[in-house]
Structure 1
Amino acid sequence: MAVFGLLPHTPVVDVGVVLAATGAIWLGSGWLERAAEQLSSYYGLPAVVQGSIVVAVGSSFPELSSVVFAALAGVFDMGVGAIVGSAIFNVLAIPALSGLVADDTLETNRAVVYKEAQFYMIAVSALVITFALAVIYFPTDGGALSGVITRPLALLPLALYGLYLFIQWQDVSDHDAAADADDTPIGRRWLMLGASLLVILVAVEQLVGSVESLSGAFGIPEFLAGVTILAAATSLPDLLVSVRAARDGRSVTSLGNVLGSNTFDLLVAIPIGVLIVGSVVIDFATAVPMFGVLTLATVLLFAVLRTDLRLTSAESAFLLVSYLLFVSWVVAETVGVVSVIR
């Protein structure tokens, strides 16, 4: 049932829910961005920290929720697939669209390129190593490439995220912040942040349910829907926040949100799902090819950002074409043309 169980899932109802949820996410992401900017100004946070921590964690709530719900339902692989698909959408499609809406080019700096992007590469590697340790030390009886991720293993990526927060804290302590000219009470700023998270969470939950229903009604395979449609749906808050920031000339916040959101998803969202249910089974044969594509996508983003520390329109188009090639590969996997994922 759609709309909190009030209406049946029909194509007409689902399309209406998708449109209404998209509008609600647009509204909520605007509140989130405004609250994050006000709180960052109040606490004297640099723009890169604002994007990679405050905005990124807030806009990552849909991905966190999807992993928790998938783990509780016993389909953890689906939750991981949605996270990886969302991460690929984030590093290719969102910077591309942000660069295309920017006035001229999407400017960046060395903090984004050498800290955020490179630490994100470490996050991808750390999660692959965690999955490999599960296969080596806790193999399942059903297959040689399946393993059980236990709570102690889940603490490894969480510890790495603790290092990430420490690095951000060091940047905050070294930052010479300007005086806060906004007279909005701090309580109202936190209230706006909480309201934005609630609106985004409820809207994305309804959006994902309707997208799932539409994919079933039109015969779209679950794998294809998961790593493309659902991944893009849960990344909609990140997309709206980053595009709006790029359009307003805040390119560092725009790119910091993308990389910080992905770092949070990999190092926090997936481990929290494991900690809640105790242990989950991961299929290494499915996970590794997808993480390989994610690594390649991250390298592409790093390369285009490092050239002159800016993202041009041509480079944005290149990233967008790369994402369309990824979608084409997933479609080819689904229909059996290729079989890289086993």
Structure 2
Amino acid sequence: MNWAGVSIVEVAVILLTTGAIYVGSGWLEGASEDLSTYYGLPMVVQGAVVTAVGSSFPELASVVFAAIVTGSIELGVGAIVGSAIFNVLVIPAVSTLATDEPIEANRTLVYKEAQFYMLAVSTLVITFALAVIYYPDPSAAGDLEGLVTRPLALIPIGLYGLYLFIQAQDTGDFDADRGGRGGIDVRRQWAFLAAGLVVILVAVERLVHAVDLIGAALGVPEFIMGVTVIAGATSLPDALVSVRAARDERGVASLANVLGSNTFDLLVAIPIGVLIVGAASIDFAMAVPMFAVLTGATVLLFTVLRTDLSLTDLEAYALLAAYAAFVLWMILESAGVVAGVLPTG
């Protein structure tokens, strides 16, 4: 690797934007907690909707930017799936190791949030399959490429509408303790929430740009940078928010943020890119292996969460080992050391 080609400016940008993301995520997490208390939202709804949608802005922005500039969402889809794998394996593990006690889950998280997230993964795969069957891409060289049209994009968006309806019903059934809302300045917290989103959005865009330049200078393949470094960079707000929640002994909100963020990315961020460009070509042969890895990672997380409804340090190390194996596999396939199973381009 040619480290001489790496500019000190890009390194400085990474350090500065990481600090900015840390500050912005702090504003976002604090404001979402206070607003959820003010409006009487359950902790699961706070993590899965309020905080998750906010911390998913980097992934949403990456899809929108790719759609507007290149007219394609393929890069955005890859980045989101790579980010989702990072979210379910790395963030819960790091959050657990950052605390003195195991992160506590509950049955609502495991049996509602987790299962709905698996439904989200399945729905997006079915949407891509319908594109291949009914709208084959006439300009594609392969037989497994189809056009995801705007009507098809409404299928996952409609499912997210159902998700919000379920969360609204749970909020209505929740007996909130509103004793602490009197000391909350709701306008100030909405301002902090908006400021946190802006800081995160700008900082992550600069961070991803700097990482991309360093990858090009070092000769690292774009695919490896996309599913590892860039995916981790866009997931940094989620990681910081989840770690803070875990340290405040709000394990349910910490884990719900991960699942809610991935649900939003899959059901909303990707379809919005399709709605912008009108129709987007999807290579089903590329998408299915990546979704298979995501499904396996998600099943592993659900399994360790269901044991005693908590996540221990040993289970956290198992999740990190699984992610390390995924990254190693990507590197070996990119280098041609092992036979190609996952896409490398």
1:130 is aligned to: 127
Which of 93, 97, 100 is the aligned partner of 1:100? 97
What are the Cα deviations for residues 96-115 of structure 1, in whole angstroms up to 9, with x where unaligned? 11111122101000011001
2:60 is aligned to: 64
CA distance in structure 1 between the aligned counterparts of 2:96 and 2:341, rounded to whole angstroms: 32
What are the Cα deviations for residues 76-122 of structure 1, in whole angstroms up to 9, with x where unaligned? 21110000000000000000111111221010000110011110000
What are the Cα deviations for residues 147-177 of structure 1, in whole angstroms up to 9, with x where unaligned? 0000000000000001100110111001010
Q: TM-score, normalised by structure 2?
A: 0.95
Which of 15, 18, 38 is the aligned partner of 2:11? 15
1:179 is aligned to: 178
- CA RMSD in angstroms, aligned pairs only: 1.1
SS at match of 1:144: coil
The answer to whether the aligner puts 1:77 opposite 2:77 as a matched pair is no
The answer to whether the aligner puts 1:332 opposite 2:328 as a matched pair is no
1:146 is aligned to: 145
2:267 is aligned to: 267
SS at match of 2:176: coil
The answer to whether the aligner puts 1:110 opposite 2:107 as a matched pair is yes
1:4 is aligned to: none
Is the Cα contact below 8 Å between 1:140 and 1:146 reproduced in 2? yes
1:186 Cα deviation from its structure 2 partner:
1.4
What are the Cα deviations for residues 199-252 of structure 1, in whole angstroms up to 9, with x where unaligned? 000000000000000000000100000011100000000000001111121101
1:292 Cα deviation from its structure 2 partner:
0.2
Identify which range, 36-45 or 241-250, moves more after superposition.
241-250
1:53 is aligned to: 49
2:84 is aligned to: 87
Q: Which amino acid aligns with 2:298?
A: T
Is the Cα contact below 8 Å between 1:123 and 1:263 reproduced in 2? yes
The answer to whether the aligner puts 1:223 opposite 2:218 as a matched pair is no
CA distance in structure 2 between the aligned counterparts of 1:335 and 1:21, rounded to whole angstroms: 31
Identify which range, 254-263 or 135-144, moves more after superposition.
135-144
What are the Cα deviations for residues 226-285 of structure 1, in whole angstroms up to 9, with x where unaligned? 011100000000000001111121101100000000000000000001001111101111
Is the Cα contact below 8 Å between 1:106 and 1:310 reproduced in 2? yes
The answer for unaligned runs of 5 or more in structure 1 is 1-8
1:341 Cα deviation from its structure 2 partner:
2.9
CA distance in structure 2 between the aligned counterparts of 1:136 and 1:11, rounded to whole angstroms: 47
CA distance in structure 1 between the aligned counterparts of 2:211 and 2:128, rounded to whole angstroms: 29
CA distance in structure 1 between the aligned counterparts of 2:161 and 2:96, rounded to whole angstroms: 31
Is the Cα contact below 8 Å between 1:29 and 1:237 reproduced in 2? yes
Is the Cα contact below 8 Å between 1:42 and 1:180 reproduced in 2? no
What are the Cα deviations for residues 19-40 of structure 1, in whole angstroms up to 9, with x where unaligned? 0000000000000000000100
Note the 1:168-247 alignment, pairs <5 A. Answer: 168-182=167-181, 183-247=183-247
CA distance in structure 1 between the aligned counterparts of 2:227 and 2:75, rounded to whole angstroms: 9
1:180 Cα deviation from its structure 2 partner:
4.2
SS at match of 1:281: strand
Q: Which amino acid aligns with 1:105?
A: P
CA distance in structure 1 between the aligned counterparts of 2:220 and 2:56, rounded to whole angstroms: 26
Is the Cα contact below 8 Å between 1:41 and 1:180 reproduced in 2? no
CA distance in structure 2 between the aligned counterparts of 1:110 and 1:66, rounded to whole angstroms: 33
1:10 Cα deviation from its structure 2 partner:
5.5
Q: Which amino acid aligns with 2:152?
A: L
The answer to whether the aligner puts 1:256 opposite 2:262 as a matched pair is no
SS at match of 1:149: strand
CA distance in structure 1 between the aligned counterparts of 2:329 and 2:7, rounded to whole angstroms: 27
CA distance in structure 2 between the aligned counterparts of 1:19 and 1:286, rounded to whole angstroms: 33
2:323 is aligned to: 323
SS at match of 1:139: coil
Is the Cα contact below 8 Å between 1:33 and 1:241 reproduced in 2? yes
1:133 Cα deviation from its structure 2 partner:
0.4
Matched residue pairs, number?
A: 334
1:75 Cα deviation from its structure 2 partner:
3.9
CA distance in structure 2 between the aligned counterparts of 1:204 and 1:70, rounded to whole angstroms: 15
1:3 is aligned to: none
